[in-house]
Each structure stands twice: as C-alpha cells, then as structure tokens.
Amino acid sequence: MSDNKSFSEVLERFRDIAFYESFDMIVAIANGGIIPAAILNQRLNIDIHLLKINLRDAYQKAKYESPQLIAPIDFDFQGKSILLVEDRVKTGASLALACKLLEGARLVKTFAVNGKADYALYDEDCFKFPWLL
C-alpha cells in the first residue's frame, strides 16, 4: 500500500469533484461503498440504496470466484438515473455485476474513491482509506 491519505485530503476531493449529470439516487455497493455514498449524500442530497455484493472477506481475500449478490434488491431503479458508488475498483468485477443487475435504469454512472470509474477521486496504488479502523 502506498502513503495513506488524511481524511481532510480525501474530503477535499469529494468537495471538488464535478458531476456532469443529475442523479435520482445513489446506490452504494455494500459494504465498501457505504461511507463514500454517505459523504456524497451530504453533498448531493439524494437517497441512498444498498446493493449487497460481496467478493472478499474482511482481510481482502476472495470468498467467491466472482462477485455475488448476497441479498435481494429492495428498491425500484427502473428508469432512474443512478450514481453507483464503490470504495476501491481493482478488477471492475463488482461494478460490472452491479451494472448488469441495474439494467433497466435510465443511466448508471460509476464512482470510486480509488480506481477506474466514470468519476474517481484517485486512480493510484492502493492506500488505506482514512475511515477504516
């Protein structure tokens, strides 16, 4: 892992990032996307929903061969504009599954704190997020 980022440094990136669409909802990939989604909710003031997808355990070891939906989708996304939020994108497999699960949405744009996404705060070597204990 590379140098850690301070919470204020990361929050500054959250404040400064420009969004070029308006969104009906934020969908957080749980669990990693929950805190970034909450921070975005403070800025954008739109509802948050959870998409419970899991691939890795608490120690970042793969639990499954590929990401799995581990709880039913319990919100209506048909025809909606969605900001899909993840903390870290390494392979993009969780985002790809999420996008497939959200087929029927009017628009899905991806957001990552670190990694490749439509909107990303960083795209660099892994670093520990300041909100992790």
- Closest by Cα among 15, 16, 21 to 80: 21
- Closest by Cα among 132, 24, 28, 115 to 73: 28
Whether 128 is in a domain gets the answer: no
User: What's the predicted TM-score (pTM) here?
Assistant: 0.91
- Over 80: is that where the pLDDT of 40 sits? yes
Whether 27 is in a domain gets the answer: yes
Whether 39 is in a domain gets the answer: yes
Whether 130 is in a domain gets the answer: no
56-65, 88-97, 115-124: which range is least confident on average? Answer: 56-65
What band does 60 get if pLDDT is binned at 50, 70 and 90? low
**How far apart, in whole angstroms, are the C-alpha atoms of residue 131 and residue 31?**
13
- For residue 91, the enclosing domain spans 7-122
**How far apart, in whole angstroms, are the C-alpha atoms of residue 94 and residue 86?**
9
Distance of CA 91 to the CA centre of its chain: 13
- Closest by Cα among 36, 31, 40, 24 to 82: 24
**CB count in 10 Å sphere of residue 63:** 12
Q: The CATH number of the domain where 21 resides is what?
A: 3.40.50.2020
- Over 60: is that where the pLDDT of 24 sits? yes
Whether 132 is in a domain gets the answer: no
**CB count in 10 Å sphere of residue 14:** 15
Whether 26 is in a domain gets the answer: yes
Total number of domains in the chain: 1
Tokens of 50: 């959870």
pLDDT value at position 56? 64
* Percentage of the chain lying above the pLDDT 90 cut: 74
